[in-house]
């Protein structure tokens, strides 16, 4: 794992000898793909793709739903898929046949993803695999000349984040983390309000992933159980943090500077025989868990803003991503949604609410703001997204946007620097809590370019260019928090 004090030498090494070796490897890739040299991926525009040929790596629970969703996005061909499970492969094969879609090339086996990544029949590799495979699959895809789209977190350690950044820069291929929560209706509402200046200058945010342990933390796939036994810290930071980072223009005018992280006793220390929550199931496995019941981290940005980031997936808790952004003129708070904005400069909530029924008044104001400031993308296609499904439509909007960007040669909404800055917190929170909450630096993956990068704008699509007649026929979509792939 990279030592913060050696960050620059690590980056130089990757840009030099390490990538010379990678260049030789890429020389034998499909279609004679070669590396194109280093350079910032900020605002990067790839050549337009009239049709986007996708290869899905990992077609378990989440991957199957992704394949079905992608199959009905205009201009997308599901050209290939792979897995280690023949039954999962058959489900996808039968789906394509049932919907009278073109058969896809299949790759079966533990390292079959390498063949898919090198095959010249795909433009995009869409990875829905266990956490530790996220970075290797994405790197293999980019070395094979493909754009990489990878599930969350995209990497579990700082070194892998650096490798993803340098590989994207060297190959001139997009590498985007599939952070669907950035496309949630309320998250995009908050983003729109921030962009319009309604909340004033943003100064503080709260984010998290809080999920009842009975449904999330202990109905585990093997890779989750393994991680819980080996690590502490916030291993799932991006669902809540990604949207708040966008509100605050992280990597686009500001960046994370350092964090302090603290954690409760480990789950293993708290498990007791006869505990009604666990029913004695796999008790010995649970006792081995090092992961804490609750992790809480404070992040400070270079420009002096602060974010509180929480994680709890191993104790009862109503589902929440917290999703709060405080500005100098107003606040947006989610779960449940509440919005308070100064009516006139200097008028605060006490003055605004004095003598009124606060609960009813707040509800009406929130409904008014929600309607007035709904993000244009949700106005455009929100009802269709809900019909298509996938966490209330956010998955569909996420996929629709990156496909639209590739088809039109536009920059993606999230780039490899966002991927690295958000994902690297898995390791950095673990280090900080191990040192008693000691402030721990967060790398600048942009190499200083954050100072001039432009904030994410109010993105839309040109619906006249896309045929949505088949959308909604992909079958039921998953509910957030119930995927075996993460």
Structure tokens belonging to residue 414 = 């999230």
Helix H or strand E segment including 169: helix 158-171
pLDDT single digits (tens) 14-41:
444 344 344 434 433 444 454 545 689 9
CATH of the domain at 285: 3.30.360.10
Domain that residue 241 falls in: 184-377+413-451
Q: Please tell me the least confidently modeled range out of 200-204, 252-256, 381-385, 386-390.
A: 386-390
Structure tokens belonging to residue 236 = 């799932």
Asked if pLDDT for residue 215 goes beyond 90, the answer is: no
Q: Please tell me the least confidently modeled range out of 19-23, 167-171, 246-250.
A: 19-23
130 within a domain of the structure (yes/no):
no
21 within a domain of the structure (yes/no):
no
CA dist 108 and 24 (Å) reads 27
222 within a domain of the structure (yes/no):
yes
103 within a domain of the structure (yes/no):
no
More confident residue, 204 or 26: 204
pLDDT bucket at 249, cuts 50 / 70 / 90: very high
161 within a domain of the structure (yes/no):
no
For residues 234 and 429, is the Cβ–Cβ distance under 8 A?
Answer: yes
Mean pLDDT of 169-188: 98
466 within a domain of the structure (yes/no):
no
58 within a domain of the structure (yes/no):
no
- Average pLDDT over all residues of the chain: 86
pLDDT bucket at 92, cuts 50 / 70 / 90: very high
Q: Report the SS3 class of residue 206.
A: strand
CA dist 452 and 322 (Å) reads 30
State residue 483's pLDDT score.
33
64 within a domain of the structure (yes/no):
no
pLDDT bucket at 358, cuts 50 / 70 / 90: low
Q: Please tell me the least confidently modeled range out of 215-224, 298-307, 334-343, 413-422.
A: 215-224
Which percentage of the chain shows pLDDT scores above 70?
81
Mean pLDDT of 87-93: 97
Token pair 């929100």 is found at 382
Asked if pLDDT for residue 58 goes beyond 50, the answer is: yes
Number of domains into which the chain is organized: 1
């Amino acid at each position: 794992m990279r030592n913060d004090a050696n960050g620059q030498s690590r980056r130089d090494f990757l840009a030099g000898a390490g990538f010379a070796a990678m260049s030789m490897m890429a020389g034998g890739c499909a279609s004679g793909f070669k590396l194109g040299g280093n350079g910032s991926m900020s605002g990067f525009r790839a050549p337009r793709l009239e049709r986007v040929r996708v290869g899905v790596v990992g077609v378990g629970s989440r991957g199957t739903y992704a394949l079905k969703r992608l199959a009905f996005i205009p201009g997308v061909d599901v050209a290939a898929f792979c897995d280690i499970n023949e039954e999962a492969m058959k489900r996808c094969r039968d789906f394509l046949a049932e919907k009278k879609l073109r058969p896809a090339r299949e790759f079966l086996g533990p390292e079959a993803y390498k063949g898919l990544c090198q095959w010249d029949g795909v433009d995009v590799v869409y990875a829905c695999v266990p956490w530790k495979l996220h970075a290797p699959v994405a790197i293999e895809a980019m070395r094979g000349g493909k754009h990489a789209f990878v599930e969350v977190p995209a990497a579990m350690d700082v070194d892998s984040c650096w490798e993803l950044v340098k590989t994207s820069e060297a190959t001139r291929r997009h590498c985007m983390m599939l952070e669907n929560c950035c496309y949630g209706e309320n998250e995009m509402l908050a983003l729109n309000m921030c962009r319009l200046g309604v909340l004033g200058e943003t100064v503080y945010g709260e984010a998290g992933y809080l999920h009842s342990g009975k449904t999330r933390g202990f109905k585990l796939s093997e890779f989750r159980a393994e991680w819980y036994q080996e690590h502490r810290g916030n291993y799932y930071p991006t669902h809540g943090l990604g949207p708040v980072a966008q509100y605050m223009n992280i990597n686009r005018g500001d960046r994370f500077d350092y964090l302090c992280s603290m954690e409760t006793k480990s789950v293993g220390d708290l498990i007791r025989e006869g505990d009604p929550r666990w029913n004695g199931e796999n008790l010995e496995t649970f006792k081995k868990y090092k992961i804490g019941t609750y992790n809480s981290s404070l992040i400070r940005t270079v420009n002096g803003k602060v974010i509180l980031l929480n994680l709890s997936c191993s104790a009862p808790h109503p589902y929440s991503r917290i999703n709060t952004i405080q500005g100098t003129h107003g606040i947006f708070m989610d779960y449940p949604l509440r919005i308070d904005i100064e009516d006139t400069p200097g008028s605060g909530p006490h003055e605004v609410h004095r003598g009124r029924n606060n609960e009813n008044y707040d509800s009406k104001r929130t409904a008014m703001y929600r309607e007035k400031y709904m993000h244009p993308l949700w106005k455009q296609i929100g009802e269709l997204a809900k019909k298509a499904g996938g966490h209330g439509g956010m998955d569909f909007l996420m996929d629709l946007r990156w496909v639209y960007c590739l088809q039109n040669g536009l920059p993606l909404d999230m780039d490899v620097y966002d991927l690295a800055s958000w994902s690297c917190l898995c390791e950095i929170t673990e280090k900080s809590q191990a040192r008693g909450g000691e402030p721990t630096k967060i790398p600048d993956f942009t190499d200083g370019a954050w100072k001039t990068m432009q904030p994410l704008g109010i993105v839309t699509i040109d619906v006249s260019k896309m045929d949505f007649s088949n959308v909604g026929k992909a079958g039921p979509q998953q509910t957030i928090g119930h995927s075996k792939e993460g």
